[in-house]
Amino acid sequence: MRKSKVISLIYFLTGILYIILQAESVVVPGIITKALIIPLLMILLFVNLWPVMTRLHWLMFAGLLFSWAGDVILEFSQNNILIFIAGLVSFLLAHIMYLIVFFRTPGKNIILSRRFYLIIPVIICGSGLLCFLYDDLAEMRLPVIFYTIVILTMLAGAINRKEKVNSQSYYLVLSGAILFVISDSAIAINKFSYPFEFSGIVIMSTYITAQYLIITGYIKQLR
């Protein structure tokens, strides 16, 4: 427990440092700092799961690994659309890992049976975002639509855990999934439609918190 608290503290301090460096346009130290954020969560997950490593545990690790790759790749994307797509694919794979874990968690899949209505707000929000972005996406239209479907499926998977896990785990992961959607939505809006002030702070603060909530929620599930 003490190790987890120390790692968590270092994680958020590293995230805050990156946000400050990004705001001040300090490039190289910023890239190095950002590359350290997700590995700290991987250590946190490892400390709490070892020595029992199931297939779902490894999928969570894979989700963090793809997230880390996306973090690093996007630092070099700037106006290069191909590098941006590579970063997009990395995060796409991260969301796929998470959604598989969420749906494969033992228990009833409530949204696939009697509680489908729980994902209606998800569908409405996703449709609204795509309508807002649609005219500005140009050649990125299909990739962004596909990515949106995947991340909303990840959110649906988080909702689907309701009767599978304890309430603390459920709400931590759900909150993290919602913040992840907000973070990715902010990226899309800022890049394709409406660049806004303090976008970096909004994107990274929601992203850093989202990943932490998902991982700690998953750990709580096992306890």
- For residue 78, is pLDDT > 80? no
* Distance in angstroms (rounded) separating the CA atoms of residues 65 and 215: 13
Mean pLDDT of 152-164: 93
* Distance in angstroms (rounded) separating the CA atoms of residues 98 and 210: 12
Which parts of 75-166 fold into alpha helices (H)? 81-104, 120-133, 141-159
| Residue 207 covered by a domain | yes
| Residue 208 covered by a domain | yes
pLDDT of amino acid 19: 96
Residue 2 class from Cβ within 10 Å (0-12 exposed, 13-18 middle, 19+ buried)? Answer: exposed
Q: Give the tokens for residue 99.
A: 């959604």
Residue 5, helix vs strand vs coil: helix
pLDDT of amino acid 53: 83
Residue 212, helix vs strand vs coil: helix
Better pLDDT: 31 or 112: 31
Mean pLDDT of 75-82: 81
| Residue 41 covered by a domain | no
For residue 144, give its domain range. Answer: 57-221
Structural domains in the chain (count): 1
pLDDT of amino acid 15: 96
- For residue 77, is pLDDT > 80? no
| Residue 159 covered by a domain | yes
| Residue 136 covered by a domain | yes
Nearest of 187, 183, 186 to residue 211 by alpha carbon:
183
pLDDT interval class at 21 (50, 70, 90) = very high
- For residue 51, is pLDDT > 90? no
Residue 13 class from Cβ within 10 Å (0-12 exposed, 13-18 middle, 19+ buried)? Answer: exposed
% of the chain at pLDDT higher than 70: 99
* Distance in angstroms (rounded) separating the CA atoms of residues 121 and 138: 27
| Residue 126 covered by a domain | yes
| Residue 188 covered by a domain | yes
Mean pLDDT of 194-211: 92
| Residue 46 covered by a domain | no
pLDDT of amino acid 111: 76
Residue 116, helix vs strand vs coil: helix
